[in-house]
């Protein structure tokens, strides 16, 4: 098992000294931690829409990503869409995989573990009787989501499992899915 | 206000007759409604990872999207990432916007309302004291998500608002965020 007393150094592509310095900076000024993420979405046709990511707020200032990212969603033809892009619910699966994976890389680096592979498959089981309005007993969302990680690095199985567990404990997306998140909807007609 | 007794016809890019026929088919054989969506994610470096969408299960068979879609996530530089792509939590914002918007188009079409514009902005407020492990009282996920719709069509404000509300009531992503979704994590080390 790799020692955790190695001096902080970049590992797994994570700049560990800067990560620790950032956490110290937030400790000294918790207001830095108030972030707001944003997306703008435009309906295109049918079930097809497009979102753009650019700006966000954080560290007490307006900020922007280094590039604009565009993503789209649609329904597949079996659900009467044109299948231009993944469905909205499929983006939840990317979100949970990516959030846990970034946490795994950070936690491993902080613990002095060098990773050589982290891959995952995510499945989401959903019964469309809910969204089709055909059952009052079936929920609209996923019945369950399962994330299966394959993880390799210079540590024993127990250490690798503990890294995944710590990532789960601090995952924003895991929390957003497993606990209720307030969603407010405002409508400006006309 | 537009009448809702117009014979079903394509509207808003929605093939309404096929939509109704699909709902009838599921009524006759509810097993059609059991879907499983999937994503495969690979860690690249640091907080950067990439997901691919292709296959899914539905209508009692293995199916595939007409194209493979690749999406990426990273953390911004202020959070010690390389900012190659939006953060994982930002994908939740696209998911809720796209899900509600596709529902709005479907519901409006089914009700005989022609839409000329649906756009939305979504904001997600998050206090990073949670994920940074600096507070036991701050949740890891969003404190709140706000979706603001601008919607235009050949119906009065009340009708347009009712379409958004019906979309919310049958939204898979709205349910997945506002109610607990079971997320199971499995680890295969080595």
**Among A30, A56, A118, whose Cβ lies nearest the Cβ of B129?**
A30
- Tens of pLDDT, residue by residue over A84-126, are 999 999 999 999 999 999 999 999 999 999 999 999 999 999 9
Question: Is the CB of A41 less than 8 angstroms away from the CB of B73?
Answer: no
Q: Token pair for residue B97?
A: 């916007």
Interface test with B, best of A12, A96, A97, A185 (most B CBs within 10 A): A185
At A1, the pLDDT band (50, 70, 90 cuts) reads very low
**E-strand spans in A46-86?**
48-58, 61-73
ipTM: 0.96
How far apart CA B114 and CA B159 sit, in angstroms, is 12
Note whether B185 contacts A14, CB cutoff 8 Å: no
pLDDT digits (tens, 9 = 90+) for A170-189: 999 999 999 999 999 999 98
pLDDT band at A9 (very low <50, low <70, confident <90, very high): confident
Q: Give the model confidence (pLDDT) of B168-184 as tens digits.
A: 999 999 999 999 999 99
> Could you say which of A39, A104, A146 has the minimum Cβ distance to residue B97?
A39
pLDDT digits (tens, 9 = 90+) for B104-129: 999 999 999 999 999 999 999 999 99
Mean pLDDT along residues A8-33: 94
* Residue A86 forms contact with B (CB below 8 Å): yes
Q: Which residue of A has its CA nearest to B85?
A: A69
Output the pLDDT for position A190.
Answer: 78
Q: What is the pLDDT of residues A55-71, one digit of tens each?
A: 999 999 999 999 999 99
Question: Two tokens at B4?
Answer: 């809702």
Taking the model in full, what pTM does it have? 0.96
Cβ–Cβ below 8 Å for A88 and B98: yes
**What's residue A7's pLDDT?**
62
Q: What is the pLDDT of residue B6?
A: 55
pLDDT of residue B186: 98
Q: What per-residue string of b and e applies to B96-134 under the rule 16 or more CB within 10 Å gives b?
A: bbbbbbbbbbbbbbbbbbebeebbbbbbbebbbbbbbee
Coil, strand, or helix at residue A169?
helix
What value does the mean pLDDT take over residues B24-42? 97
A29 contacts: CB under 8 Å, gap ≥ 6? none
Backbone angles phi and psi of B153, in degrees to 5: 180, -175
Mean of per-residue pLDDT scores for chain A: 95
**Is residue A163 predicted with pLDDT exceeding 50?**
yes
Q: What is the pLDDT of residue B55?
A: 98
Residue B9's pLDDT is what? Answer: 82
Nearest to A69 among B13, B77, B85 (CB): B85
Separation in Å, CA B56 to CA A71, A125, B84: 19, 10, 27
Q: How far is the alpha carbon of A142 from chain B, nearest alpha carbon, in Å?
A: 6
* CA atoms of A48 and A85, how far apart (whole Å): 8
CB proximity A113 to B under 8 Å: no
Q: What is the mean pLDDT of residues A133-158?
A: 97
CA distance A1 to chain B (A): 13
pLDDT of residue B1: 46
> Are B126 and A36 inside 8 Å of each other by CB?
yes
The helix/strand/coil state of A179 is coil
């Amino acid at each position: 098992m790799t020692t955790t007393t190695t001096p902080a150094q970049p590992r797994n592509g994570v700049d560990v000294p800067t990560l620790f310095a950032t956490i110290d900076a937030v400790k000294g000024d918790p207001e830095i931690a108030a972030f707001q993420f944003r997306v703008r979405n435009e309906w295109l046709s049918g079930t097809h829409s497009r979102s753009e990511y650019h700006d966000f707020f954080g560290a007490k200032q307006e900020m922007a990503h280094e590039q604009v990212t565009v993503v789209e969603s649609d329904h597949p033809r079996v659900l009467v869409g044109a299948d231009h892009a993944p469905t909205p619910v499929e983006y939840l699966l990317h979100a949970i995989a990516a959030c846990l994976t970034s946490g795994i890389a950070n936690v491993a680096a902080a613990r002095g573990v060098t990773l050589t592979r982290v891959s995952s498959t995510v499945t989401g089981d959903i019964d469309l009787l809910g969204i089709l309005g055909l059952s009052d007993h079936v929920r609209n969302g996923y019945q369950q989501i399962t994330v299966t990680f394959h993880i390799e690095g210079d540590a024993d199985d127990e250490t690798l499992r503990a890294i995944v567990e710590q990532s789960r404990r601090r995952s924003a997306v895991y929390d957003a899915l497993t606990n209720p998140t307030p969603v407010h909807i405002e409508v400006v007609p006309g």
